[in-house]
Structure 1
Amino acid sequence: MAAGDRFEVLVVCTGNVCRSPVAEQVLRARFGERFARFSSAGTFALVGQQMPEQAQELARLLGAEPGPLHAPRLIDASMIEQADLVIALTREHRGEIVRLLPRANRFTVTLREAARLIECLAAAPEGDLDLAPLRTVPVPDALRALAPMMMAERGLATPPTAADDDDVVDPFRQAQEVYDRSGEQIIDAIDRIEAALRRLAERA
């Protein structure tokens, strides 16, 4: 399958050395890249640096194999334009993305918010959700159709208890316990997204 035929997911944090590459690598390990392609960038990328060893170890613990040649990239509007879905690690990152490309508001979501929204979509009553058309199109196109359906749940999903419950904590230059908490937040969201996708697939 040509690269352009895959569902493009861009993951964004600040420095592109901890949260976004870890999430990118775990998503790739979890879902593969037959139908989707995962990349990452930073709003204030530490270009020329590598993932800290703690971040690499975190990716391994979460089931990924961190690439030794990960190169932090500074996000720009063209990267956002090419994505089908942009996953920010915090609401602040989401705001920066939308400032670069205002129409990205329609396809940019934080990782933890995505888990809430897709769970809400998967729990929709049988008569409210018509997934049958997704069976007749290639998987990347089904994902492109599913993404706006997920985003439309913003007005329906139960809001977080606290606003920062939609953020993943930044572990850069922090103690190991902060790396652990960041990893727990990332893997919890990805686990929930995968489970909800499986439920939706069973209903299609």
Structure 2
Amino acid sequence: MFAILTVCTGNICRSPLAEQLLRTRLADLDPYVASAGTRGLPAAPMTVEAAHIARALGVPDADTDAHRSRFLTEQHLDTPDLILAMTREHRRAIAELAPSRLRSTFTIREFARLAAAVPADEVRAAADAAAAPSEKLRAAASVVASYRGLVPSPEDPADDDVVDPYRQPWETYLLSAQQLEPAVTAVAATVRAALT
């Protein structure tokens, strides 16, 4: 088994959507995918808008209905093999809680941007040197992290973030999903390259 954690602010819009999309798209690999928020109400459901988008993107109703938010703690950061923040601010909060996990922590759009530059053979070679699925994913994440500084940063640093749609109009939810969904696709492709 391997584990992925997604992190946003309130754990009711972006991170549960990312969690559920990854779980759905990697279901055949039996992942453990969870999410948490750096602030917000405990045990709150997804917003209606985020749940609607999740369903439209193929997430089962039971997943969206079952979601309840939770606060991010240091313990949540012990076991995930890959930690995906929605913004640079969330990545910074993760680094403050668990500095040793920085090499496994990315904003989800940063991961997608870096992974696009990494040859699939390089990911596979690193993963093949490991035994368990968890170790394979950590090896792949390490390879992607090694491209920091080699791949040009975006002109606008905010291009590594997923916009927060909470309490915003429907158009902002759509924009957030349009930023998030391609990044989820890139993460899933890298995970598959490492594990299959």
TM-score normalised to structure 1 length: 0.85
Deviation at 1:48, TM superposition (A): 3.0
Which among 141, 152, 158 is matched to residue 158 of structure 1? 152
Q: 1:179 matched to which residue of 2?
A: 173
Counterpart AA for 1:174: Q
Deviation at 1:22, TM superposition (A): 0.5
Residue by residue, what CA displacement relative to the aligned partner does 1:48-78 show, whole Å, maximum 9, x if unpaired?
3211111100111222124312111100101
Distance in 1 (CA, whole Å) between partners of 2:155 and 2:46 is 32
Aligned CA RMSD, in angstroms, stands at 2.3
CA contact (8 A) 1:119 1:196 kept: no
CA contact (8 A) 1:122 1:196 kept: no
CA contact (8 A) 2:74 2:98 kept: yes
CA contact (8 A) 1:16 1:45 kept: yes
Deviation at 1:195, TM superposition (A): 4.4
CA contact (8 A) 2:123 2:140 kept: no
Residue by residue, what CA displacement relative to the aligned partner does 1:112-146 show, whole Å, maximum 9, x if unpaired?
000011111127xx7xx484463473443322211
Q: Which has the larger radius of gyration?
A: 1
Identity %: 40
Q: SS of the residue aligned with 1:120?
A: coil
- Confirm or deny that 1:120 pairs with 2:114: no
Which among 116, 127, 131 is matched to residue 134 of structure 1? 127
Q: Which runs of 5+ in 2 are unaligned?
A: none
Which among 56, 59, 65 is matched to residue 61 of structure 1? 56
Distance in 1 (CA, whole Å) between partners of 2:167 and 2:104 is 31
- Confirm or deny that 1:27 pairs with 2:27: no
Count matched residues: 193
Runs of 4+, deviation exceeding 4 Å: 195-198
Deviation at 1:82, TM superposition (A): 1.6
Deviation at 1:87, TM superposition (A): 0.4
Q: 2:77 matched to which residue of 1?
A: 80
Deviation at 1:10, TM superposition (A): 0.7
